[in-house]
Amino acid sequence: MAHAAKINALTDDLISAINPSTHRRDARQIRHLRDSALRTFKTQQHVRVNQFEIDARLEGLLEKFYVLNNEPLADALKPRLDDFAARPNKWRPEILALLLALSDRPAEKTDINKALEITPDEPVEHQLTWAEIIADDPLDEEGIWDDVEDESDYSEHRAPSLSDESIGEPTTSTSASSFGEQDVAALARAFIVPKDRELLTQVKNLRDRMTSMHSGLELTELQVARQVLLMLHGLPTDLFEAESGGRIRTRHSCHIINIAPSTLDRVLQDYASLGSQINTVRRFVASNQQSVVLQSFQAAVQTQLSDFGRTLSDIEQDFLQQEKSAMVSLLNVYAEIDRVAKPLTPLGGLIPDNALKHNVRAVQLLNNLFEQTCTLQLIGEDVESSSVASLLFKCLEPYLRPIRLWMTEGKLNSSDELFFVRFDDENSDRGSIWHSRFALLKQADGSIFAPDFVQSLAERIFKAGKSVMFLQALGHHPDSSERSAQSLDVAQIMQSASDGLLPFSEVFKLALKNFTDALEGSETRILHQALMSQCGLQTTINAINYIYLGVHGTRFQDFSYAIFQRMDRGSGWDDRFLLTELAQTAFEATNAVMPDHIVVRVKPRTDQQTTTGRRADMLGRLVVEYSIPWALQNILTKTSLAACQKAFTALLRLYRAQYLLNQQEWTLSIMADRYKEQRVKELLALRQHLSWFATTLKRYVCEVLSVVTKQLSVDLEAAADVDGMIAAFDTFQLDLTRKLLQNDNLAPIQGSMLAILDLYENLALEWRNAVKQISSRATQPTSRQLVVQQSLSARQNRPEIDEAADLTDDEDDSELHDRHDQRSVLSVSSLLKEYTRQLSFLLAGLRSSTKPTAEATKHSRISRLEARLPRFLARYITPLRNAPISHITAFLVLHELTAIVPLFGLTFAFHKFDWLPPVFSEGYWVKEGVEKFGRYFRRKGWIRDADGEGFEDEKNRKGVAKWWPRGEDGVRLLVEVATAYAITKALLPLRLGLSLWLTPSFAKISTLPIKRMFARKAATTPATKVAASPAAGTNAVGGKTTK
């Protein structure tokens, strides 16, 4: 109770301190706050820090420092901990726990030198104050302000005084230094430093001469030259002034004898322009830059500015030397200064925009320097090109530093924002470190964030660093001391560029490539060998071939048949432990397979699979997992293993079909005795069809697996690095998925194949029922039949297809039996029709999936037309191969129109006038027309089958004209259509010629307007460019070329 009362009192004090309001209307709020605070305090479960745990952690930290060879840090920490423990402080564990929580890898990041500089504050010495001095020696004593006659001891510490010679006024003594207002000015004059009057006079005269410039007086060239030199030094002048942006302009106009004002103004403008360029560079050098590349550029430019300043000083010195009589000329001065300033003047345009980020500015600066060097060399400015190239190399040196560290040691400085390699997921799993730990920094346009001359080498640099990192993760630490000392051969680059035989860009890129070659070393080759030998990549591939792809058919068959037998027995077949034991037992004799790495599980049934209830879907739920080392998981990705799992499922379904067919071989003799019965005949026919389908499909799948695995081995041998090996497996996965028809866009074909495979289950059920019925009708069964019947009885006592264990727990058993009975009552003829329907759909889907492209279809149609034409007309079709698509479309439309119009027109004319030309009515084309259109007429019911057959037989004997007296309208119309068809076929050369002649005009009024309409609609979409029509501007259709 005392503890509760204490908490209540403290809570009241806390609320009063936070909310000092004492109004009566706030009593409810205060009471609510008090209750809430008390509940919080009472439910507080936190206790104090365990001091023994903190001491143990600190001892472990000290031991870690000693293990990591960081004895100075441990020796510095231990006495401080002992000193802190000796001081009584009840919060000592909490303070140490807070410091431990705030620590971040102290063994690596602690700088022992900086840590030792931190020393406890020394006690501050007591300083003497004026109050203590006055207390000991008051200022109101008599004689304290009297003059001191002897000044020899402290004369050097006195305030300076002015002599009569310098100022002409008497010196005020200390006796006059009172607090009176009349002596303040005199006291101030005692502290004035005397000036030389002659020097002041010279300064006044110079100021007067400078002021005379403002009035437009005439000046000498020497005076103007001095102003120019001062301006180029960056100093303020009277003749020039600098604007806020750094631009230099002339302030006043002046005149020089014998020089025209316009000429002088032009010369001064040139000087101002030169000064503006130099001033831009000088302002950049004085700015604060964060990037090391920009700082290096600043240092190099500062050196050039210093050389430029010394040159200006030399020019001034020539003007000041009296022993030399130099002729002062502004034009000569400008020519000499312009020659010296040439390396500096283009630098202002190379400085990036200050609004960009510092790392973007650094990359842009490197690009600008490289492009400027190449441009200057191309135009023959060798001196300026060498100067800019030297700046490029000095800026490139800090940029190449992280590249050297990355390629030799596989390390990355996370604080370096200039390097194009970044940490993507620093804590990623080791099974994906090659893919997810590091990433290339990309720009908005998709290019790598690097200078243009590094773009071609960025991927290679990225791979080399990842290879070193991967080898270190595998335990390999190659010696990189020699490669770390490699640097860019600047002298060789400059020598090759000065020869002029090769452009600077080629010389520079070649040197940069040699630099990366020297840094790369042999890590890539070592990593390739380590993955193949140490990590067992080839052994793992062989194991995958055995388990998933069924390379060893006997063992794969033993494994699959064992699963099928468990499925047929009934419940419990999907126990993952038993399935895993079956797989491990089946493949334990294979050297390449590690049986304990195999795990078999069954995925839960989806809603769609529950609805269909197919045994093929049951096999699709079976998943085999094979554990591989983490190093190989970076090569064999989940996508590749998923493709192998799909191939395993396809093989398993085919083995299931073969297994069901093999079960029926025991009863073939019984069925053969009743082959005349309709049901038995249909069963045998269905079994023959399904046997052919299973054999053909299995042969195709095995051939595909063989070809794909061989190509994988070839690609792996040709792979030069890890990315090449990953690309080989990606190609393997794509080929395997595509050739096994497992793509998502082929889902209808996959459904048709599953439907056909489901027919094997129906066939097995119908086959067992038929054998049972035949055996029950036999009066005296043979001994072989008795054995078969006993086997069938034993099988029928077990559930035929026990799917109850394969369904979810909430599915009713009655629904399962209903679906089972519905399957069992299907007739064999229905199964045959279903097989024919699914096979037709499957073949049509395969044809459509291998359909040629539109371009190939266009050329094939033209080829067919060309083959059907006479030789003298074939040359008119040849230009259509390279014609625009609009003209080809127009030609094909005209070709069809010239066939349809004569066909219907002639048919109408023959029927209207009741006349047929005898020449065409008895030819081969008429017979072809009768056969083609006769089938259509019979399908529509316009003529009877007997009429059509009799007509064709009679026509073959006596000709078409003999049938006119019969007067049957359907047959008559058929003959008329056939005759019109024959005439249309005979007019083919004329139709083709007419179509070719009308193609340009017809395209102009039909296809081209439609194409332009779609082009205008596409042009309204943002960021979409519409190209000109291929036919526009060809004068073939009168079009105009669009821009």
What is the per-residue pLDDT for 823?
43
User: Looking at the DSSP assignment, which residues form a beta bridge with residue 373?
Assistant: none
Q: What pLDDT does residue 324 have?
A: 62
537-836: which CATH topology?
Answer: Four Helix Bundle (Hemerythrin (Met), subunit A) (1.20.120)
Which residue would you say has higher pLDDT here, 178 or 37?
37
User: Which tops the pLDDT comparison, 86 or 849?
Assistant: 86
Output the DSSP codes for 482-544: HHHT----HHHHHHHHHHTSS-HHHHHHHHHHHHHHHHHTTHHHHHHHIIIIIS-HHHHHHHH
CA-to-CA separations, 989 to 864, 981, 983, in angstroms, rounded? 14, 15, 12
According to DSSP H, which parts of 19-158 are helical? Answer: 27-42, 51-67, 71-86, 92-102, 106-109, 112-117, 130-136
From CA 336, how far away is CA 339, in angstroms rounded?
5
d(CA 13, CA 212): 82
pLDDT confidence band for 634 (50 / 70 / 90): confident
| Continuous segment of H or E residues that includes residue 602 | strand 598-602
State residue 1015's pLDDT score.
Answer: 67
Most confident stretch, 264-268, 547-551, 789-793: 547-551
Which of 244-253, 263-272, 690-699, 773-782 has the least mean pLDDT?
Answer: 773-782
Residues contacting residue 235 through CB under 8 Å, at least 6 positions apart? none
* Least confident segment among 81-90, 739-748, 1019-1028: 1019-1028
Domain ranges of the chain: 2-42, 51-102, 214-351, 395-521, 537-836, 883-1019
What's residue 852's pLDDT? 55
Bigger pLDDT: 676 vs 650: 650
* Tokens found for residue 453: 């001359």
- Residues 6 or more apart whose CB falls under 8 angstroms from that of 630 comprise 429, 430, 431
Partnered with residue 421 across adjacent β-strands are: 440
3-state secondary structure of 256: strand
> What proportions of the chain, in percent to the nearest 5, are helix, strand and coil?
70, 5, 30
pLDDT digits (tens, 9 = 90+) for 521-530: 777 788 888 8
* Least confident segment among 52-56, 332-336, 493-497, 556-560: 493-497
With cut-offs at 50, 70 and 90, classify the pLDDT of residue 170: very low
Instruction: Compute φ and ψ for 242, nearest 5 degrees.
Output: -100, 130
Q: 661-691 burial, b if ≥16 CB within 10 A, otherwise e? A: bebbeebeebbeebeeeebbebbbebbebbb
At 207-220, the pLDDT tens digits run 666 555 555 557 77
Greater confidence (327 vs 852) lies with 327
Q: 314-335: buried (b, 16+ CB within 10 Å) or exposed (e) per residue?
A: ebeeeeeeeeeeeeeebeebbe
Give bridge partners of residue 249 from the DSSP assignment. 241
* Weakest-pLDDT range from 586-590, 807-811, 887-891: 807-811
pLDDT for the residue numbered 807? 36
Dihedral sign, CA of 705, 707, 708, 713? Answer: positive
Q: Output the pLDDT for position 1036.
A: 36
pLDDT beyond 80 at 778? no
pLDDT of residue 199: 81
β-bridge mates for residue 261, sequence order: none
The mean pLDDT of 285-305, rounded to a whole number, is 87
Question: Angle, nearest 10°, between helix axes 537-547 and 638-663?
Answer: 30
> CA of 498: how far to CAs of 369, 485, 494, in Å?
17, 26, 6
Tens digit of each residue's pLDDT (9 = 90 or more) over 380-416: 888 888 888 888 888 888 888 888 888 888 888 777 7
Average pLDDT over residues 45-51: 70
pTM of the model: 0.55
Least confidently predicted of 5-14, 898-907, 956-965: 956-965
Write the DSSP assignment of 984-1036 as a string of letters. HHHTHHHHHHHHHHHHHHHHHHTHHHHHHHHHHHHHTSTT---PPPTTTTSSS
pLDDT band at 498 (very low <50, low <70, confident <90, very high): low
Among candidate residues 752, 766, 741, 738, the one with its CA nearest the CA of residue 693: 752
**510: exposed, middle or buried (C-beta count within 10 Å: 0-12, 13-18, 19+)?**
middle
Stretch 60-67: mean pLDDT, rounded? 85
Amino acid of residue 1019: A
Q: Rounded to an integer, what distance in angstroms lies between the CA atom of residue 740 and that of residue 653? A: 13
Other Cβ atoms within 10 Å of 616 Cβ, number: 21
- Torsion angle of the four alpha carbons 163, 164, 170, 171, in this order, in degrees rounded to the nearest 10: 0
Question: Residue 803: what pLDDT?
Answer: 38
Distance between CA atoms of residues 370 and 387, nearest Å: 12
Banded pLDDT at 963 (limits 50, 70, 90): very low
Kindly write down the DSSP assignment for every residue of 577-597, as one continuous string.
HHHHHHHHHHHTT-TT--GGG
Task: Of 401-415, 543-557, 634-648, 653-667, give the lowest mean pLDDT range.
Answer: 401-415
- The residues that bridge with 64 in the sheet, in sequence order, are none
Average pLDDT over residues 476-481: 69
Question: pLDDT tens for residues 406-433?
Answer: 888 888 877 777 788 888 877 777 878 8
1014-1024 mean pLDDT: 54
Q: Which region among 227-241, 345-359, 664-678 has the lowest average model confidence (pLDDT)?
A: 664-678
Decide if pLDDT at 536 tops 70: yes
Using pLDDT thresholds of 50, 70 and 90, give the confidence band for residue 964. very low
Mean pLDDT of 17-43: 73
Q: What is the pLDDT of residue 850?
A: 67
Q: Over 80: is that where the pLDDT of 281 sits?
A: yes
* Mean pLDDT on 261-279: 84
